[in-house]
Amino acid sequence: MTSEEVTYANLKFMTLEKSQDQELQTTRAKDSPSPSSCWRLATVALGVFCLSSVAAAGVLAARFILVCHLLRERDENFTLQKAIMESLNQQLELLQAQNLNLTETVKQLATSRGRKCIPCPEKWLQYGENCYHFSKEWKTWQESKAKCSVLESRLLKIESKEELDFTRQSAQSYGSYSFWIGLFHNGTEGPWLWEDGSTFSPDLFQISRASSSSLLDCVRLQGANIDTAWCGQYSFYICEKVVDPAVVEQLGYSDRH
């Protein structure tokens, strides 16, 4: 080989090697990222991280709200259950009290077997809802009023035709005895008043006045007659009071059979 050929071959090899070096550098330049690409990737990564953080925060906030709602419902249920328990306890106490009353009633009924209710005291007469006592002692009108008060009653106050008939018939069984009733004259010109202060109605009966004397200012019942007399005069008296169903009397053997 001539020297020229060698020189040409060397030049050709050097040219080829230089071309290969340039291609290798170009390839490396293409494969290595540029600074702008790195910032772009960092921005994208940061954005993804921020979105993930926001999503996580939203999930946590939703869970927190749900937990608060559940806690509030639990508190409301607890308050409602507490109110229900208090109401049930009150009802239980009421039922226990009623049961105690019923138990006492049953005991009283058990111990009162063989008894009957007597609405009026002994030796008192009953008519309707009232009890009547025809005394066997003589007293003035004021004394009679006081005696009736001691017996937790009042002097007779006639309030109906039926009551008038009853008291007249009962008084007739005592013959000619006269009985003070709770009617008096409030002064010579005043109206006739009952013991409780109510005004007498002449529609019930007429009062026979034995005299025009101002001393005749109280009323008494004698058989079928109703007349006036001096309040300081002595007569029997009639007491009246409402029946008392709580009074009981032991029955005899004949009453139970």
Spell out the per-residue pLDDT of the chain, length 257, in tens. Answer: 565 555 555 555 566 555 666 665 655 555 555 556 677 777 877 777 777 777 877 888 888 888 888 888 887 787 888 888 888 777 877 776 776 666 555 455 544 444 455 788 988 999 999 999 999 999 999 999 999 999 999 999 999 999 999 999 999 888 889 999 999 986 666 788 999 889 988 888 888 876 555 566 899 998 888 988 889 999 999 999 998 766 544 433 334 44
Note the CATH architecture for domain 125-245: Roll (3.10)
For the chain, give every domain's residue range: 33-116, 125-245
Strand 236-242 with 154-155, pairing: antiparallel
- The length of the chain, given as a count of residues: 257
Largest CA distance in the chain: 196
What is the torsional sign of CA 240, 243, 249, 252?
A: positive
Instruction: Quote the pTM value.
Output: 0.51
The tokens for 26 are: 């170009």
The tokens for 206 are: 């007429």
Name which of 231, 128, 230, 127 is nearest 171 in CA terms.
127
